[in-house]
Structure 1
Amino acid sequence: MADFRVIHKTKYSYDDFVAYCHNMAHMYPLTTTHQDCYRTHVTVNPKPVVSSFRRDYFGNQVFLFSVEDPHRFLEVVVESTVRTHQSFDFDLSKSTPWEHIYDLIHESALDADLQAIEFIQPSPFIPSKQLYSDFISNIFTNNKPVFQGALELTQYIFQNFQYDPKATNINTPLEQVLFERKGVCQDFSHLMIAALRSLKIPCRYVSGYLETLPPPGIQKLQGSDATHAWVSVYCPTFGWMDFDPTNGKMISEEYIITAIGRDYSDVSPLKGILFGGGKHKLKVEVDVLREQI
Structure 2
Amino acid sequence: MLYNVSHRTTYRYSYPVSVGEHVACLKPRSFSQNVVLQNTLRIHPAPTAYTERTDYFGNVLSFFTVEEPHKELIVEATSQVQVDRETRLSSGPSLAWEDSATPLAEDHTVEGLAAHQFQFASPRIRLNQHFRRYALESFTPGRPMAEALMELTSRIHKDFRFDSKATNVRTSTEEVFEKRHGVCQDFAHVEIACLRSINVAARYVSGYLRTYPPPGKPRLVGADASHAWISAYSRGQGWLDMDPTNNVAPTDGHVTLAWGRDYGDVSPLRGLILGGGDNTLKVEVDMVPLGT
Q: What is the TM-score normalised by the length of structure 2?
A: 0.97
**SS of equivalent residue, structure 1 residue 21:** strand
8 Å CA contact 1:92–1:147 kept in 2: the answer is no
Does the 8 Å contact 2:195/2:201 carry over to 1?
yes
Note the C-alpha offset of 1:109.
2.3
State the Cα distance separating 1:237 from its structure 2 match. Answer: 2.4
Instruction: Tell me how large the CA RMSD over aligned residues is.
Output: 1.3
Match of 2:39 in 1: 40
Which consecutive unaligned segments of at least 5 residues does structure 2 have?
A: none
How do 1:115-264 and structure 2 match up within 5 A? 115-264=114-263
Question: In the alignment, which residue of structure 2 is the partner of 1:95?
Answer: 94
- Partner secondary structure for residue 109 of structure 1: coil
Q: Quote the offset at 1:255 in angstroms.
A: 0.6
Report deviation, 1:49: 0.5
Structure 2: how far apart are the matches of 1:52 and 1:15?
28
Distance in 2, matches of 1:47 and 1:93, equals 49
- Whether contact under 8 Å (2:88, 2:240) holds in the other structure is no
The alpha-carbon deviation at position 93 of structure 1 amounts to 8.3
| Matched position secondary structure for 2:27 | coil
| 8 Å Cα contact 2:10/2:283 also seen in 1 | yes
Output the CA distance in 2 between the equivalents of 1:259 and 1:222: 23
Counterpart check, 1:6 vs 2:15 = no
CA 212–56 in structure 1, closer or farther in 2 if over 3 Å, else same: same
In structure 2, give the amino acid aligned to 1:47. Answer: A
Alpha-carbon shift at residue 91 of structure 1 (Å)? 2.3
Aligned equivalents of 2:228, 2:137: Cα separation in 1: 25
Conserved 8 A contact 1:38-1:82? yes
| Cα distance per residue 1:68-103 (max 9 Å; x no partner) | 111111000111000000314552683121112333
Q: Is the 8 A contact 2:131 2:194 kept in 1?
A: yes
Residue 248 and residue 93 in structure 1: after superposition, are their counterparts in 2 closer, same or farther (change >3 A)? Answer: farther
Map Cα deviations across residues 152-203 of structure 1 (whole Å, 9 max, x no partner).
1111111221111011111112122112211100000000000000000000
Task: Work out the CA distance in 2 between the residues paired with 1:50 and 1:78.
Answer: 17
Secondary structure class of the residue paired with 2:245: coil
Mapped to 2, the partners of 1:83 and 1:71 lie a distance apart of 36
For 1:256, give the aligned amino acid: V
Deviations 1:264-284 (A, max 9, x none): 000000001111111111111
Q: Matched residues in 1 for 2:271 and 2:56: separation?
A: 18
CA distance in structure 2 between the partners assigned to 1:93 and 1:37 by the alignment: 27
State yes or no: 1:278 paired with 2:277: yes
**Where do 4+ consecutive residues of structure 1 move more than 3 Å?**
none
- How many pairs align? 292
